[in-house]
Amino acid sequence: MGCKPNFDSPINSPSKKIKFTKHQTQTQELIPHLPQEIIEEILSRLPVKSLLKFSCVSKSWLSLISTPNFIETHLQNSSHHRILLTIDDPYTDSPDYLQNCSLHSLLYNPVTDAMNIPWDWDEFSVVVGSCNGLVCIAKRFDKLFLWNPSTRKSRRLPFSVVEMFFNDDIYEFGYFTYGFGFDESTNDYKIVKYFCYEHLTLVMIYSFKTDSWKHIEDFPGRPIKNTAKFVNGKFYWIASHLLRINIVSLDIETQRFEEIELPQLSEPDNYKHLTLGVSGECLSMLINYEKYGDLWILKERAWSKVVNIPFIVDDTKIFEQSWNKLFTIPFDISYPGIFEEWTPLYMLNNGEILLLFGTIFIVYNPKDKGLRCPIINNFTPCLKANIYVESLVSPMDMGHT
């Protein structure tokens, strides 16, 4: 894997004599020759920003950093997560830039800095989701882009049949929702699009390998929110169906929908918001009540079950899903003038959880029931936050890398 060092470069050429200063000689004696595999291991654990600089060191390093094997290894080793901050509100003037900040700094430092990311926000845009360092963005709901914030490379995706055969009325009166994920069975990135206009509904899936859209079975009901959560090969939406609120999942491999009941509500007639999130490798849900919120985690076919919920695929087949309640979060703080919805963003190994409350980040510790609000410099208050991992994965390539 990778390329060997360039031993024909001037510094290694026997025909040329190069004079070193005393300091340079001493430095070389202190730094032993590193085997190629050690160099590759070190490079695979560096941030993308550093790798982009190091790719200019030599042709061999550029070749190494550009190989699919190295990109895959770097992705697996990457622990550099960042938070993408956006104003995801069609009734708010969008800024002409995005912002991001280090997730580690936000969680562990008293103060962190937000950085502006240039992006053309000439039209209302929605961050659909992120996967393997790639971020999917929908502009005016019809123009889809795949973008790597770390390398700043982007790619516009082709129109589907919806945009080609309908007029501009669909953007004013139609309803769109999207999901973005990676199909491990085919090594392919995919986007699912739900479209509803008057009495017409369409569900389509885009494949990056085929660079095309195809129609799949109808969505059972209607999604309530504009974007899906992607966890372990499935998209999840909160949906309305037959006058009931439930969760609908779509298997990215089989392209079949399933309906999942909500976890048990502490106050069935008094909850305010239902918000999906991702906790580790599981789907999570935060149920907002007036004074507190319950955080639940969904584990399919789990061994220990707190609440057993019937999951009906059809009239003849019933599966069991287990919603394990993690803890209850007290909402005993008041911030005037912001939204009431709490969004779970990230769960730490020590049990702490990062939430977005309106435009404020909050870290909650369920052990001591403590709350802390990280301070972000150069921060434009956001309404949406998406966590992504730094990677070298290119949006221009078909498949995984």
Return the pLDDT at 358.
74
User: How much helix, strand and coil, in percent to the nearest 5, is found in the chain?
Assistant: 15, 45, 40
Mean pLDDT of 180-190: 95
Nearest to 3 by CA among 48, 45, 58: 58
In tens, the pLDDT along 31-78 reads: 457 788 888 899 999 999 999 998 888 888 899 999 999 999 999 998
In tens, the pLDDT along 70-95 reads: 999 999 998 889 988 876 554 455 44
pLDDT at 186 over 50: yes
Please state, in angstroms and rounded to a whole number, the distance separating the CA atoms of residues 391 and 401. 10
Give the residue extent of every domain in the chain.
10-75, 78-389
Q: Which residue has the higher pLDDT, 63 or 318?
A: 63
Q: At what angle do helices 36-43 and 59-66 cross, to 10 degrees?
A: 60
Binning pLDDT at 50, 70 and 90, where does residue 330 land? low
Q: What is the CATH number of domain 78-389?
A: 2.120.10.80
